[in-house]
Structures are given as C-alpha cells and as structure tokens.
Amino acid sequence: MDVVTTKAALRDALQSIELTSIVGLVPTMGNLHTGHLRLIEAARSQSAVVVATIFVNPLQFGPKEDFESYPRVLEQDSKLLREHRTDLLFAPSMEEMYPHGRSPHTNVSLGHLTGFLCGSSRPGHFDGVATVVSKLFNLVQPQRAYFGEKDWQQLTLIRAMVHDLDFPIQIVGVPTARSEDGLALSSRNGYLNAEERAKAHLLYESLNRIRQSVLNGDLDYAKLESDAFERLASEGFAPDYVCVREGASLQAATADSTDRRVFGAAHLGSARLIDNIPIDE
Ligand code: PAF
C-alpha cells in the first residue's frame, strides 16, 4: 500500500492507474474498526484499485464537539488497511486540505435535507461533510464510493449531492457492523466507560422494539417514539431523537410508506450514539 499525504503525490499515484480500472474510494476519519473494514472489503470485491482516505475534517465538527480529542492513530490504521489489501492511502494534513483554514472560500451546502435528525442538533455538520467529500471525489475521481449505513442521513445526503452536482460516482451503502450485543460499531464508542458500554446496546434495542410494534400493526409512531425516548432517558441516556421516517426521502413515515426505518440518536456519557434499522425489508 502506498501512503501519500499531499494532493500532488495523490495525483501522481493515481496517474499510474489504467484508465479503464474501477477505482473504489473509502473516505474515513481514521480510528478504524470492523465497520470501516467492511467498507474496504466491499470496495475490494468490486474495484481494481481501492483508495482509502483518513482525514479528521474540522468543518464537520461543531465548536463544542470532539475535533481536538478525536483519536488519531495513523500507524495502527495503516496496518489494518494494508492487511485488508488497500492499494493507496491518502492521509493529508489540515493545511493540505484547507490552505485557508476552517473557512474555505467555497462550501457545499445541502439545504433543507440537513434541517432535521442529526442536522438539527449538529448545525453545519452535513455541509462540512459535503464539502470534504466533494473535494475527495474531485481529487480521487473514483467510479464508486463506499459509506456505512449507520450514518444513514449522511449516506442519503451524499446520494442527493452526487445526483445534484452530477458526480459520475456510484454511492454504495454498506450495512452497519455491530457488536455481539447489537451496539453499532463507531469510532466514538471508545468514549464510553464500562458502565455506559454495558447499557449502550439499549439504543439498538429501543429501535428494534419500535420495529416489532410497527410490524405487529401499531402505527401510532408518535407514541412509539415518545415511549422509546422516555425509556432511554430513564436508563441514563440523553436522547436527541427517536423517530420513524422514510429511508429514501427522510420524511416522516405515514401509514402508506413502504421503506420505513427507525432512527435514533442519544448521548450517553461523553459519547453521542446514533443508529437506524429498516422496518420494511
Ligand atoms: O463518515 C465519516 O467518517 C465522515 O463523515 C466522512 C464521510 C469520512 C467525511 O469526513
């Protein structure tokens, strides 16, 4: 695996790739876990060349969020990527990606799709994601790019962006990797202490409980959502939202929706956990 840290070296490395080769891109912020490695495996199975990126993108962190403390473990990540047969790793510095600092002249804004779910509690987050992902798409010019379904809103917004801005890139969603107790794997799970970790799976359990009730015919989404919210709060979570929405449009689900998903986000200690599961397969 080649490791490059500048845009010029990335371009040089990409130039040696045959024009007809399928390039698969896996953008990450590092601190890799099995979920990321599933993205690499999916890319590996569908692409001639797998490019991973590691960049902790300041634009997608709010002022009180964990940008400074976000784990940066490049050596450990490089080893995992090498073991999973990644061809090229791009790990740029902040200055390389944003020579003008945290306020670049150009931002990609995702508009109304960011005003709810994680977007309402993390203002600016998705625009920061869209800006860095657009830059990575332009730099790597992959045919396919891989994102985890755990961040379903991010995945949906990136699909919308690719459509609106005519990026000739297929966006591939990869199912959420989970611990044995059901907790969705996340780089931020490391912020949980032992007691918090022992109950973190209750978020997934709450989503599953709603799913089961809906499948049993209970369509009072508002009541199901508020019951789950209260149950999580009583267990020591500070829930952000629990809701049933349409997977593709992210709009509130109705009795006629056919691609419903349950979404949840909650703080537990210093970790913010998010998860979602399909109701309609
Ligand atoms: O999902 C992530 O890890 C990040 O949001 C991404 C897509 C790498 C952009 O920084």
- What HEC string does 127-179 produce? HHHHHHHHHHHHHHCCCEEEEEHHHHHHHHHHHHHHHHCCCCCEEEEECCCEC
Q: Looking at residue 40, what is its pLDDT?
A: 98
Would you state the pLDDT for residue 75? 98
Q: Is the pLDDT score of 255 beyond 90?
A: no
Tell me the CB-side half-sphere exposure of residue 238, using CA atoms within 13 A. 7
Ligand 1 nearest atom to the CA of residue 28, by list position: 8
- CB 57 near ligand 1, within 6 Å: yes
Confidence of residue 215 (pLDDT cuts 50, 70, 90): very high
pLDDT of 19: 81
CA distance 61 to 95: 17
Q: Is 53 in the pocket of ligand 1 (CB under 6 A)?
A: no
Q: Is the pLDDT of residue 281 over 90?
A: no
The CA 27 to ligand 1 mean position distance, Å, reads: 6
CB-based contact 140:166 (threshold 8 Å): no
129 lines ligand 1 (CB under 6 A): yes
Catalytic residues: 36
User: Is pLDDT above 90 for 18?
Assistant: no
Ligand 1 pocket test, candidate residues 132, 136, 140, 157, most atoms within 8 A of CB:
132
Asked if the model's pLDDT at residue 273 lies above 90, the reply is yes
